[in-house]
Chains A and B, each alone.
Chain A
Amino acid sequence: MGTSVYLFSGGQLRRKDNTLVFESPDGTKYLPVENIQEIYLFGEVDLTKSLLEFCSQKEILLHIFNSEYEYYMGTFYPREHLNAGHVTVKQVEYYLDPQRRLDLARRFVEGAARNMLQVLKYYRNRGKKVEGHLERIQELEGKIPETAEVPALMALEGNIREQYYRAFDAIVLQEDFQFDRRTRRPPENHLNTLISFGNSLLYSAVLRETYKTHLDPRIGYLHTSNYRRFSLNLDVAEIFKPILVDRLIFTVLGKKMITRRDFDAKLEGIYLKESGRKVFVSEWERRLGTTIRHRSIGREVSYRRLIRLELYKVEKHVVEGEEYRPFVAQW
């Protein structure tokens, strides 16, 4: 299985014969291309067309972040290599049929809500005051089947998430990391910055796994396919945000691995500095590599693998009509 490379500083990424070379003020780094599956570019990096060609040929994804504000800009997604027309046709069929699309979209929201509840229950059992939020989410969750259209479902999902984020203050209990309200571009406070950064890493990870299936990441169900380049990864990411991103945030804040000093306030918002990004990313990699016992597969699988399995389930839903049941964390 391929690895991920994170390039934090600025520099030049070039192809040199059969390797990738990253030249930066910190020195020259050779990257063993046979193993790399994706590269994250955070700094101001110069790329050439021949490099892109090389990445395409080696099936390497490039995730590009704005170098000043480090928000996610996009992914260079090499030409599809596992093409199965039949799967694409089925994916589109489900997208075009309003009932079937809504049904799938509801499953993503349902899975997201269930995982949020798991996270909150865990903290409730450790004495955090999240009971009220928990109950309200349960109430809202009950309305998922009543939604008649995707936009209404999206709105409901927004309400659920809002309740959920409000519980963060009771979990984090730090003056420096109050939630206030969700702001995205740009994030206007420290907690929002962490959420945005973590979510971007997750979107990219799901995209990378999608590349290894027959699914077309442009066709999503909850997130509309109209104007976004990729949307299926956003759908599937909903399931994993609470378990992967939010838990990580609680860890790095709880252990004070990231503090206010790791941020920069700029004209347009609050940003994580390189020090903070490095900590976050190394925790992220650790988390993705963590394994859990998978009952039907019959062995331990990593969270990264679990993302792939989730995509397989979506593929089976559209191709075989086998109902997709989202992964729900056990604790």
Chain B
Amino acid sequence: MEDEIRINGTLVWYYTFCPREAWLMSRQMTPDEDDENVVIGRFLHENRQPRGRKEVEVGHSKLDVVRRDSGTLVVTEVKKSRHSLKGARMQVLFYLIELRKRGIEAEGELVVPEERKVERVVLTQEDRVKIEQTVEELRALLRRATPPPPKRIPACKRCAYGEYCWA
């Protein structure tokens, strides 16, 4: 079972919001596809690759990367609102660590197209410890046979699992 647990950036992202959501996602229990937020997410995903960007696979994650003229490799993560930036930052940091493990130095950026916002993400030693700790917790969570029960949190309001969790 151990090596079947595949941690990827998206799971890290979900985990920062709601551990339960990460567990459900890890079991391919995708949420209600009629949900408006899922539709927006899919649209963003399908339409988010301007010229010069590439999707590459690293570990179990798919990353959008660009190479700047200066030679720096940049991992970009596009989100639909500023609400999710904290989690998105964790996600990008996770990617940066994954890349570094493979000997690649990169920087990250968070993009919120609707708000024309771009934020730079650089990996510090402190972040590193924090992410590794988070990934350990996540791994332990995903090893569980059942997800943690739903807990009312602000994210529930916009979560596509809402009806599943609270039915």
B167: Cβ under 8 A from any A Cβ = yes
B87: Cβ under 8 A from any A Cβ = no
Closest A residue by C-beta to B30: A82
A189 vs chain B, min Cβ distance (A) = 38
B24 vs chain A, min Cβ distance (A) = 9
Interface residues on B, range: 10 to 19
CB < 8 Å: which of A1, A84, A315, A322 contacts B149? A322
CB < 8 Å: which of A85, A315, A321 contacts B164? A315
Please state if A85 and B146 are interface contacts (CB–CB under 8 Å): no
Closest B residue by C-beta to A82: B30
Please state if A296 and B164 are interface contacts (CB–CB under 8 Å): no
A307 vs chain B, min Cβ distance (A) = 11
CB < 8 Å: which of B27, B147, B163 contacts A297? B163
B85 vs chain A, min Cβ distance (A) = 27
Please state if A212 and B164 are interface contacts (CB–CB under 8 Å): no
Known: A82-B30, A84-B28, A212-B34. A319 touches B163 (CB 8 A): no
CB neighbours of A320 from chain B (8 A) = 146-147, 149
CB neighbours of B147 from chain A (8 A) = 319-320
Give the dominant DSSP class at A's interface.
Answer: helix
What residues make up the interface of A, taking CB atoms closer than 8 Å to B? 1, 82-87, 212, 214, 296-298, 305, 308-310, 312-313, 315-316, 319-322
CB neighbours of A1 from chain B (8 A) = 34
Please state if B33 and A212 are interface contacts (CB–CB under 8 Å): yes
Closest B residue by C-beta to A298: B166
CB neighbours of A321 from chain B (8 A) = 146
Please state if A212 and B29 are interface contacts (CB–CB under 8 Å): no
- CB-defined A-B contacts under 8 Å, sample of 12: A1-B34, A83-B28, A84-B30, A87-B29, A212-B33, A214-B29, A296-B166, A309-B167, A312-B163, A312-B167, A316-B164, A321-B146
